Structure formats: structure tokens, C-alpha cells
């Protein structure tokens, strides 16, 4: 199939308004407006903060519990990479006025788009599993069976979205996630060794072990998730931001990356100052939500499990609704299928099938996995995200460096070095993890 010609925004005529009364399917913009009541926040800050979801909190908690402050130096580098990647996508949205999936289809054709969308589908389906695993783990804190909590949550999300009442409760879910802002206070009240915190922030401390490599890939995967790139570019494009007024969006993107990862760093510090120190510096592998909640004890005391549980449930329900829905919109819009929650299964079978299937898949896997493995499952999902991320990054880098698309707004040398370096390092880490896994299957002794 011949590729469509890509016409940059500055070469295109103005869009014609949709005729009054003509049907117009819902677009990604409906979900860009999901956080509209936080109007003072830009797409960069929203996209970056959204990365601190269930899988993110659990992964950062595992970092601190197992290796103390040993991942803080990595968070500095990851923040730089995240800022550069997010800014590239925001710039593409402003320069072309198109979302990432649209550009991939136009530049690489149907096959390239299918490969990219498959990567996105797998990544987001796994994250959806992580969200329901979080609900299952939290249900233990409140002494509720996951076989009741998870199906009710999945059915509730499906009904809220398909019946058009999700907008009425989304603010409640977001307010619940504000519980995670307790981590900076908890980290300070835990009285960490700030000298060690500073030293391990600026001096890399690498452990040559499979566990450390596993968590490192997971930390990258949960901080720079494929969904965030799709979101920020679509958001900037839907807002109608142009390169003439792009400076504010760039600043917002960089600020969002720093703010989000500061919260992540405080989660690591809080866990390091409580769980890791309590273990005598040996490190503890988190297996329950109750263990993950211990970091909040210095601040909220015996209410730590409740505060942690409320935040985790809010983040899980929010992501469990938005991720499957935006994935369904991105895929069906890319290939021209009918889409919209107002359509029946018969009218929009691909759209409704993707949305419902992702919810059902996430809930089913969370129910099948034994309770003792739910936390490990959430971390494993982030590792999978880290392994899949380079695929999408290669598409992004080829697009953002194409002068036919970006004109004079292509990447600079420093941006390319950071972005391609991030891609190469992730590929190298993933390959190393695969090799280590294979060696362990053959009984080859490895460092722990």
C-alpha cells in the first residue's frame, strides 16, 4: 500500500469546521480532557505524573526495599531521558498537529503502524493487568476477597465508561491518588541519612546481580512508559498548540518530568529509610501491599495501610478506565474502524472488543495469579514495558528526525545522543537479562 504524503502543519490549509449536525466520532481529545479540571497543569506534567501509577509505586517501593538508595543515581539519568523523549513527542504534536499513531501510519504504512500498535496493545494490556493486580493486592489490606473486589472493579469501570457516567467520578479517582503525596513527608519524617542519599544520587552504585538488573529495567519501563508518549503528543495536537507558542509546552514537559521523578525518588528514599534500614541493609523483596505501605508509617502511623490502599485503588481505577479506552481509540483510529463508547458492539465491534477484552484480560490474570505473586507480577509488567519501549522509541526517533515531517524542528545533536543512547542501553539491558535468564535455566551460578 502506498504511503500517504505527510504535510507538516505549517504547509497545510486550515481545517474546515465540521458541518453543524454531522456525526463526529469521539477522538483522543475526549480523554485528553480527562484532567480538564486541573487546567493549570499542562500535558507534560499530567503525562509524567500519570507514570506514578500502581506499577510505578510498587516498582519504586521495591527499589528502596531491596537496594536502599542505590537507584537514586539511575533516577537522575532516567529523568533526563524521560524529559527528552516526552519533549520530542510534544514537539511532533505541535509541529504536525497529529498524534503519534497517525504519523506512524502515514510514514511507515499499514505494516509499520500494525507493528507499532501491536507493541502499544501488548504494553498497555500488561499495564491493565498491573492495575487489577494492584486492586487484588489492596483487597488483602481491607480483608476483602480479590474474587469479589476485582470483578466488581472491572464491571464498575466498564459500566462507568460505556454508560457515559465516568466523567462524574474521575475526579474522585484522581483525588484518591493524591494520597501518594504523603511520600515526600514520610521520607523526611523517616530521618534518612541525607549524606548517603546525596552520595548515592550523584555516585552510581551498580550491583552485578540479576535482581538489580531486573529492577533497573522495570524502573526505566515504569518511568518512560509507551502510553505517555502517545498521550502527550495527542494532547498537544488536540490543544492546537503550534511551534510559535511551543516554549510554554517545552517548559511544562521538562517541569513535569522533574516533578514526577522527585515523587518517585521520595518513594525510594522512604522505603530505603524504613524497610531497607530495618533489614540491616540486607534488603527485602516486597511480596505484599502491607509491606509496601510501611514507608508511610513515619507520617500516618497505623493508618499507613489505609492511606496506601486508597491511593493505590484510585490510581488503579483511573488507569484501568483510561488505558484500555485510549488504546482502543488509538488502534481503531489508526486503521479507520468505527469507534466510540456510544456505539454498540455490532456498530463498532473492534473498538468495543478491544476495550472490553483488555478489561477482562487484566481482571482474569489478576484473579489467576496467587496472592503472594501479585507484587512480583506488577514489577514484571514494568520490566516488560522496559523491554518493549525501544521499539516505540525507534519509531519516534525516525519520525522526529525526518525533515519532511519536522522541517527545521528536527532533533538536535544532544537530544539524539540522549534518546538513541537510552534506546541502545535498554536494548543492551534487555539482552543481558535474557542471557542471564537462559543461563539460570541451565543451572549456571549467577551473582545475587
What is the C-alpha to C-alpha distance for residues 426 and 327, in angstroms, rounded to an integer? Answer: 24
What is the C-alpha to C-alpha distance for residues 26 and 61, in angstroms, rounded to an integer? Answer: 37
Q: Which of 331, 342, 376 is nearest to 23 (CA)?
A: 342
| Residue 171 belongs to domain spanning | 26-441
In a domain, 447, yes or no: no
What is the C-alpha to C-alpha distance for residues 391 and 177, in angstroms, rounded to an integer? Answer: 30
- Counting the structural domains of the chain, the total is 1
pLDDT score, position 407: 92
CATH number of 374's domain: 1.20.1740.10
pLDDT score, position 25: 39
pLDDT score, position 216: 93
In a domain, 1, yes or no: no
Task: Give tens-digit pLDDT for 262-295.
Answer: 999 999 999 999 999 998 888 889 998 889 999 9
Which residues of the chain fall short of a pLDDT of 70? 1-51, 166-167, 170, 443-448
In a domain, 84, yes or no: yes
Please tell me whether residue 225 adopts helix, strand or coil conformation.
coil
In a domain, 111, yes or no: yes
Cα angle for residues 71, 77, 83 (degrees, 5° grid)? 125
pLDDT score, position 433: 82
- Phi-psi sector, 143: left (phi>0), alpha (psi -120 to 50), beta: left
What is the C-alpha to C-alpha distance for residues 339 and 435, in angstroms, rounded to an integer? Answer: 42
pLDDT score, position 10: 46
CB 271 within 8 A of CB 64: yes
CB atoms within 10 A of CB 58: 29
How buried is residue 229: exposed, middle or buried, by Cβ count under 10 Å (0-12/13-18/19+)? buried
What is the C-alpha to C-alpha distance for residues 53 and 220, in angstroms, rounded to an integer? Answer: 14
pLDDT score, position 145: 95
CB 237 within 8 A of CB 99: yes
In a domain, 144, yes or no: yes
CB 399 within 8 A of CB 107: yes
pLDDT score, position 23: 36
pLDDT score, position 13: 43
In a domain, 446, yes or no: no
pLDDT score, position 436: 79
In a domain, 71, yes or no: yes
Angle between helices 304-335 and 54-67 in degrees, nearest 10: 130
CB 225 within 8 A of CB 385: yes
pTM: 0.86
pLDDT score, position 445: 64
CB 299 within 8 A of CB 185: yes
In a domain, 243, yes or no: yes
Q: Which three cell numbers stand for residue 334?
A: 489508526
Amino acid at each position: 500500500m502506498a504511503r500517504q504524503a505527510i504535510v507538516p502543519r505549517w504547509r497545510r490549509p486550515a481545517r474546515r469546521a465540521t458541518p453543524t449536525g454531522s456525526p463526529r466520532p469521539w477522538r483522543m481529545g475526549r480523554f485528553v480532557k480527562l484532567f480538564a479540571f486541573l487546567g493549570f497543569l499542562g500535558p507534560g506534567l499530567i503525562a509524567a505524573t500519570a507514570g506514578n501509577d500502581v506499577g510505578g509505586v510498587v516498582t519504586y517501593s521495591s527499589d528502596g526495599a531491596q537496594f536502599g538508595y542505590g537507584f537514586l543515581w539511575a533516577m537522575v539519568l532516567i529523568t533526563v531521558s524521560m524529559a527528552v523523549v516526552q519533549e520530542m513527542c510534544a514537539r511532533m504534536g505541535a509541529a504536525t498537529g497529529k498524534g503519534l499513531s497517525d504519523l506512524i501510519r502515514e510514514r511507515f504504512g499499514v505494516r509499520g503502524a500494525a507493528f507499532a500498535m501491536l507493541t502499544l496493545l501488548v504494553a498497555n494490556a500488561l499495564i491493565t493487568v498491573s492495575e487489577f493486580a494492584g486492586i487484588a493486592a489492596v483487597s488483602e489490606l481491607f480483608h476483602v476477597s480479590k474474587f469479589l473486589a476485582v470483578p466488581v472493579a472491572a464491571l464498575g469501570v466498564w459500566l462507568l465508561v460505556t454508560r457515559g457516567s465516568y466523567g462524574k467520578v474521575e475526579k474522585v479517582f484522581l483525588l484518591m491518588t493524591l494520597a501518594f503525596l504523603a511520600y515526600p513527608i514520610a521520607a523526611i519524617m523517616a530521618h534518612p541519612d541525607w549524606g548517603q542519599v546525596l552520595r548515592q544520587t550523584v555516585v552510581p552504585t551498580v550491583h552485578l546481580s540479576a535482581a538489580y538488573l531486573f529492577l533497573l529495567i522495570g524502573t526505566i519501563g515504569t518511568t518512560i512508559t509507551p502510553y505517555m508518549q502517545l498521550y502527550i503528543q495527542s494532547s498537544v495536537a488536540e490543544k492546537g498548540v503550534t511551534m510559535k507558542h511551543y516554549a510554554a509546552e517545552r517548559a511544562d514537559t521538562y517541569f513535569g518530568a522533574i516533578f514526577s521523578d522527585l515523587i518517585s525518588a521520595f518513594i525510594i528514599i522512604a522505603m530505603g529509610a524504613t524497610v531497607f534500614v530495618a533489614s540491616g541493609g540486607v534488603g527485602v523483596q516486597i511480596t505484599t501491599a502491607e509491606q509496601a505501605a510501611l514507608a508511610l508509617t513515619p507520617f500516618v502511623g497505623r493508618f499507613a495501610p489505609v492511606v496506601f490502599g486508597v491511593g493505590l485503588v484510585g490510581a488503579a481505577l483511573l488507569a484501568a478506565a483510561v488505558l484500555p479506552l485510549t488504546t482502543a481509540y488509538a488502534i481503531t483510529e489508526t486503521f479507520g474502524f468505527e469507534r466510540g463508547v456510544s456505539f454498540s458492539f455490532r456498530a463498532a465491534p473492534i473498538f468495543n472488543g478491544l476495550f472490553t477484552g483488555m478489561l477482562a484480560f487484566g481482571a482474569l490474570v489478576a484473579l489467576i495469579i496467587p496472592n503472594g505473586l501479585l507484587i512480583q507480577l506488577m514489577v514484571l509488567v514494568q520490566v516488560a514495558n522496559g523491554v518493549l519501549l525501544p521499539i516505540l522509541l525507534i519509531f519516534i526517533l525516525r519520525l522526529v528526525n525526518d525533515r519532511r515531517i519536522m522541517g527545521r524542528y528536527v532533533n538536535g545533536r544532544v537530544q539524539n545522543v540522549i534518546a538513541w543512547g537510552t534506546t541502545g542501553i535498554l536494548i543492551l539491558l534487555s539482552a543481558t537479562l535474557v542471557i542471564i535468564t537462559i543461563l539460570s535455566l541451565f543451572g549456571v551460578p549467577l551473582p545475587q
